[in-house]
Amino acid sequence: MCFFFCFVSVGSDVAFFFQIVILGAGMSGLCQAKRLLDAGITDFVILEKASRLGGTWNFNIYPGIACDVASHLYCFSFMLNPWKVLLLVTHLVYLYPN
């Protein structure tokens, strides 16, 4: 799975034109990109303000944070992950798309 990520600094004079723009490289953004590729659509870009994948998991770093969705449900259908715990803690969620 290969995506084109565009990290553009604020105030940049560079212009890009895409048919579709996905805002955020979190779980939903990555899933949308995969679905577009499956449909044969390649004229899109994912814009992410962070320097890495993960979406909200990059910013919520308080102690004890965990996913409130059962771990076996919190994965892509096209990239299953055999979780060994019921509720995922932050570092496991971050490692998954990376």
Torsion angle of the four alpha carbons 25, 84, 88, 47, in this order, in degrees rounded to the nearest 10: 0
Query: Which residues lie across from 79 on neighbouring strands?
Result: 76
pLDDT given at position 2: 47
Angstrom CA distances, 27 to 9, 10, 11, 16, 73, stand at 23, 24, 27, 24, 13
Helices H / strands E in the chain, number of each: 2, 3
- pLDDT digits (tens), the chain, 98 positions: 445 555 555 566 666 778 888 988 888 898 999 999 999 998 888 888 887 787 777 777 777 777 788 887 778 888 887 778 887 777 777 777 76
Q: Where are the domains of the chain?
A: 5-95
Bridge-based pairing state of the strands 44-47 and 5-6: parallel
**pTM for the full predicted model:** 0.71
